[in-house]
Every structure is written in structure tokens, then in C-alpha cells.
């Protein structure tokens, strides 16, 4: 995936209203987050369709999210590939590393759930709590 997707934050950042410090320190942590997102979104079901037919795949990706993520990757994959778990994972990673620069894992989860400014929306806190439980269980 190249150095474009390498992301390192040296210090843990506080996660307000959820508790604990969950930092982004490297690719392993992002992979843990991506696994947790797929579990919460669809129980890892690549054929899942949600949000009234507007979200597809294991990560429940919307068209605008897909457009941004593929742009950040520099690819022209059709939205129908959102059900391809490998490609979808790359798109989610690119999207979160772009919009989540300087963010904690839980803030990145909130961005996945609520868009580029999702980490600032109170409505994404319950989603972050679900992700936090999975990340705590995996550590």
C-alpha cells in the first residue's frame, strides 16, 4: 500500500466521553480498528446492504465515502466493488488515514460512522463505545 498509508502518532490522545487512551501507533492498530468496524457494521458480511440500500459491504460504505477513499488511493474502482472485502478495507483505511490525521482510533471510528467531521458529532459516541468494547476485548 505504500508509504502514503503509513501513519504514526507518537503520543496517546485522550478520548473524551468514552474514557481511556487509545492511540494510533501503526498499521497493527489500524488493522484492529478495521476488524472492529467490520464486526460492528455487518458481522464481516461482504454482501450486507444497509441504511435503506445506501450502504454496501462489510464496512457499510456509502457512495460518497467510496468516492473519497478511492480518490485518496488514486484508483478508479466502481462502487459495486464495495462488496469486495479486500478493496473495501483499502478504501476505509485510506479514508480514515486522510480524515483522521492526528486522531485516536475511536475518533477514526467516529469518522467512519459520521463522515469527515464525525469525531465531533455527539451522535457518533454510541458507535465509538461499541468499537471501544471490541478493541478492549482484542487487546
**Distance of alpha carbon 47 from alpha carbon 129, whole angstroms:** 25
**What dihedral angle (degrees, nearest 10) is formed by the CA atoms of 20, 23, 27, 28?**
-30
Catalytic positions: 41, 51
Would you list the DSSP string of 1-60? --GGG----SS--B-TTT-SB----SHHHHHHHHHHHHHHHHTT-TT-EEGGGTEETTTT
Amino acid at each position: 500500500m505504500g508509504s502514503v498509508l503509513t501513519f504514526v502518532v507518537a503520543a496517546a490522545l485522550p478520548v473524551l466521553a468514552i474514557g481511556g487512551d487509545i492511540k494510533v501507533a501503526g498499521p497493527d492498530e489500524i488493522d484492529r480498528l478495521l476488524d472492529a468496524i467490520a464486526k460492528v457494521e455487518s458481522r464481516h458480511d461482504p454482501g450486507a446492504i444497509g441504511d435503506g440500500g445506501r450502504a454496501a459491504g462489510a464496512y457499510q460504505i456509502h457512495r460518497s465515502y467510496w468516492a473519497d477513499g478511492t480518490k485518496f488511493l488514486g484508483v478508479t474502482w466502481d462502487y459495486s466493488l464495495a462488496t469486495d472485502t479486500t478493496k473495501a478495507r483499502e478504501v476505509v483505511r485510506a479514508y480514515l488515514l486522510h480524515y483522521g490525521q492526528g486522531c485516536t482510533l475511536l475518533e477514526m471510528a467516529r469518522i467512519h460512522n459520521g463522515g469527515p467531521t464525525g469525531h465531533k458529532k455527539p451522535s457518533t459516541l454510541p458507535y465509538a463505545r461499541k468499537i471501544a468494547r471490541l478493541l478492549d476485548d482484542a487487546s
